[in-house]
Structure 1
Amino acid sequence: MPLFSVVIPTYNRAALLEETLASVFAQTLTDHEVIVVDDGSTDETLALLARYGERIRVLRQSNAGQGVARNLGIREARGEYVAFLDSDDLWPPWTLATFQQVIREQGAPSVVMGRAHSFQHSREVSDLESGAPRVQRFDDYLASADATFIRTACAVAVRTEALRRVGGFSDKRISAEDYDLLYRLGIEPGFVYVESPVTLGYRQHAASSSRDFDRGYEGTVFLLEQERRGSYPGGAARRRERLAMLLFGLRHVTHWMLEHGRSRQALALYARGLRFHRVLPRWRYLLGFPPWVLATSLRSRR
């Protein structure tokens, strides 16, 4: 059994996937298998993957979205942990070795989250520096609610048994399926955040899913609805921790949408969050956001 199963979902990204795979095969730790799940690509993806032979396991499905593709990879994984990598992102050579060291030194936590560095040109990832891991350890993911680090849900390694226990990813085509997974993993024992070194190069480009405003809106609505239904673990005793993270994310998304001219969606999310903000009020946001929406709308009409 390898320590890591590297799961890479991909859809029509042949132009970027080769560089992503090169970053995996450049890892200093070789105790891993590589699973690429093709989500019904119509470009040259399959021809590219065929060149790797037995170095990778290729799984195919009709186009069903990233969550479904990742779940197929989880079902087929043989490793103790699944490390997720998107097909447009890059790992520096020390990523898996860093995760291995953290797992050994921190008592085999259920979830290890790395730190991401946004880039546009791959040389920016090559310029990153390695080093001994500096980490923050928590009893579980929910216990990290008050931590101030930036949560990079696309830069995680998770115990395979824990992933299967919570049911993997949502099959909805939303941009928050990775955060939904983290909330469902919320009380699995052991969560470690790797402050340094950087373990993921997060590519910024026009086709990045993080720039899809409609999916961002739908994803945030989905997370709030899951909390309303009581779908996340921890019950009433851990509700404040869940809300601290959920509402932080909601505030970030509403600001992001407003900055990009999506004032109606931003205001709709603000309204949806009011019932939750009654539990954890942030008065500066609650009182200041509607006037900011109005001012932004007036400026856009000039």
Structure 2
Amino acid sequence: MPFFSIVIPTYNRARLLEQTLASVFAQEEPDYEVLVVDDGSSDDTLETLARHGERVRVFQQRNAGPGAARNLGIQEARGEYVAFLDSDDLWFPWTLATFRRVLREGGASVVMATPVDFSHPEELAGVTRAPLQVLRFADYLASAADRTPRTACAVVVRTEALRRVGGFTPLRMSAEDYDLLYRLGTEPGFAWVRAPVTLGYRKHAGSTSTSLESHHRGTLYQLEQERLGRYPGGDARRHERLDMLLYGLRHVTLWLLAERRGDLALDLYWRGLRFHLAAPRWRFLLGFPPWAVATSVRQRVVRR
């Protein structure tokens, strides 16, 4: 049984997938298997994967989105831990070795990576292997007070825990990875690797309109899951859950406003109102309405 099962969902990214796989095969840590789930691609993804032979276990499904694709990978994984990697991102040679060391030295159900953004692979040439720095918490919810930006798409999770919580939601929306982390919230042991950088996160140019609406849907979904009591920890851990959920909501709301989607921003504000009152977060509750009005006026003036 391999120690790591690397699950890579992909859809029409044959050229980028080739780069991603090259970064996996360059790993110092050898104890892993690679599972690529083709989410109904229409390009030459399957031909690209065929060139790698038995080095890659390939699975296919009709196009159903990345959540469903990752779930198929979780179902087929044979490793003790599942490491998730998107088909446009890149690992460094020390990535899996770093995760293995963190797990060997302290154990954890969930390990989170630290990324660096890039648009072209050559931008990563200057990234070096810094000394290991790890923050450890009793579980994911216990990290609520830490405001450092999180990279939920780059995690390693104990396979047993993933299956116990049901994997990812298959709904098409952004932030499905954060929803998974909340459902893993009380699994014992959360390790946050602050150094070295272990992921190259590819930034794509283009319109953000679809992404804006997807983040709006994802944030509303998380609020609904909390309202229905589907996240673990009960009343005793509600403050920690709300701390993280509402921090994310405020970030998305301000982003939507800055991107001229005041309609979606106001919708999030009103739907999150009851949760903010329970927290409470008075600065946001009282400050957002006048800030939204002022931002809207500025945007109209600029358009003129």
TM-score normalised per structure 1:
0.97
Q: 2:159 — aligned with what?
A: 160
Question: Does the aligned pair in 1 maintain the 2:7–2:37 contact within 8 Å?
Answer: yes
Deviation at 1:121, TM superposition (A): 1.5
SS of the residue aligned with 1:130? coil
Q: Which moved more, 1:185-194 or 1:146-155?
A: 146-155
Deviation at 1:124, TM superposition (A): 2.2
C-alpha RMSD of matched pairs (Å): 1.4
Q: 1:24 — aligned with what?
A: 24
Q: 1:285 — aligned with what?
A: 284
Deviation at 1:44, TM superposition (A): 1.3
Q: 1:45 — aligned with what?
A: 45
CA distance in 2, matches of 1:82, 1:124: 28
Q: 1:137 — aligned with what?
A: 136
SS of the residue aligned with 2:101? helix
Q: 1:248 — aligned with what?
A: 247
Q: 1:104 — aligned with what?
A: 104
1:42-191 aligned at under 5 Å gives the runs 42-106=42-106, 108-191=107-190
CA distance in 2, matches of 1:164, 1:175: 21
CA distance in 2, matches of 1:183, 1:113: 13
SS of the residue aligned with 1:82? strand
SS of the residue aligned with 1:6? strand
Residues 286 and 218 of structure 1: is their aligned pair in 2 closer, same or farther, counting only changes over 3 Å?
same
Question: Does the aligned pair in 1 maintain the 2:139–2:189 contact within 8 Å?
Answer: yes
SS of the residue aligned with 1:278? helix
Deviation at 1:150, TM superposition (A): 1.5
CA distance in 2, matches of 1:58, 1:210: 32
SS of the residue aligned with 1:165? helix
CA distance in 2, matches of 1:168, 1:78: 15
SS of the residue aligned with 1:40? coil
Deviation at 1:269, TM superposition (A): 0.3
Q: 2:296 — aligned with what?
A: 297
Q: Deviations over 1:2-50 (max 9, x none)?
A: 1100000000111211111111111111110000000000011111111
Question: Does the aligned pair in 2 maintain the 1:175–1:209 contact within 8 Å?
Answer: no
Question: Does the aligned pair in 2 maintain the 1:37–1:69 contact within 8 Å?
Answer: yes
CA distance in 2, matches of 1:2, 1:149: 32
Question: Does the aligned pair in 2 maintain the 1:94–1:130 contact within 8 Å?
Answer: yes
CA distance in 2, matches of 1:299, 1:148: 29
Q: Deviations over 1:183-231 (max 9, x none)?
A: 0000000000001001111110036999711111000000000000000
Question: Does the aligned pair in 2 maintain the 1:12–1:41 contact within 8 Å?
Answer: yes
Q: Which moved more, 1:202-211 or 1:129-138?
A: 202-211
How many aligned residue pairs are there? Answer: 301
CA distance in 1, matches of 2:117, 2:257: 22
User: Which residue identity is paired with 1:41?
Assistant: S
CA distance in 1, matches of 2:130, 2:77: 29
User: Which residue identity is paired with 1:136?
Assistant: L
Question: Does the aligned pair in 2 maintain the 1:141–1:190 contact within 8 Å?
Answer: yes
**% of aligned pairs identical?**
66
User: Which residue identity is paired with 2:193?
Assistant: V
Q: Which moved more, 1:258-267 or 1:198-207?
A: 198-207
TM-score normalised per structure 2:
0.96
SS of the residue aligned with 1:188? coil
Residues 37 and 123 of structure 1: is their aligned pair in 2 closer, same or farther, counting only changes over 3 Å?
same
CA distance in 2, matches of 1:256, 1:233: 28
CA distance in 2, matches of 1:210, 1:19: 27
User: Which residue identity is paired with 1:69?
Assistant: A
SS of the residue aligned with 1:8? strand
1:203-218 aligned at under 5 Å gives the runs 203-206=202-205, 212-218=211-217
CA distance in 1, matches of 2:207, 2:299: 26
Deviation at 1:282, TM superposition (A): 2.2
Question: Does the aligned pair in 2 maintain the 1:143–1:241 contact within 8 Å?
Answer: yes
What are the ranges of 5 or more consecutive residues in structure 1 without an aligned counterpart?
none
CA distance in 2, matches of 1:172, 1:29: 34
What are the ranges of 5 or more consecutive residues in structure 2 without an aligned counterpart?
none
